[in-house]
Amino acid sequence: MRRYCSCGEGCVFYEGVRIVNTRGICSDIKIGNCSLINGELLNFGHGGRISIGNYCYIGEGSRVWAAKEVCIGDRVLISHNVNIFDNLTHPMNAARRHQQFKEIITSGQPRDIDLGEKLINIHDDVLIGCMSVVLRGVTIGRGAIIGAGSVVTKNVPAWTVVAGNPAVKIREIPENER
């Protein structure tokens, strides 16, 4: 796994981890010190960078897919079966979608495609509950908690609990719980 990414000291890859670095540039997928990876990290053929901070956990069955950039801060816990996509993954136009599919099965990820990419920024100390989805263009503030099964379509302020589909604010986290 280490040959497909740049990783710090104490980084651990569990059995079954997938690192799909389509462009083959190790610096496109960076993992910090003492982070545990138990899911899939993938960048697309036309670009995409993933940076994961120190002391993070990417849970089993979770996917982080980048066509632009996904930035994950320090001490972030991403539970199992979470999907984080900074793009649409497929064109909305049916003909272009079919063309993308044909290119993937014949020659690999397209090098020239528009998937509506938008940066995802997940700040330090965030917890993302199992089976949640974080969609393109979202910023999740420091210390925020995303409830299990949530679909995050909008920015989440720091020290806030959100849940649901779409995710809505449940409460703020008081100073004594931070």
- Catalytic residue list: 90
**CB neighbour list of residue 132: distance below 8 Å, 6 or more residues apart:** 79, 82, 83, 146, 147, 148, 149, 150, 151, 152, 167
Contact between residue 73 and residue 140 where contact means Cβ atoms under 8 Å apart:
no
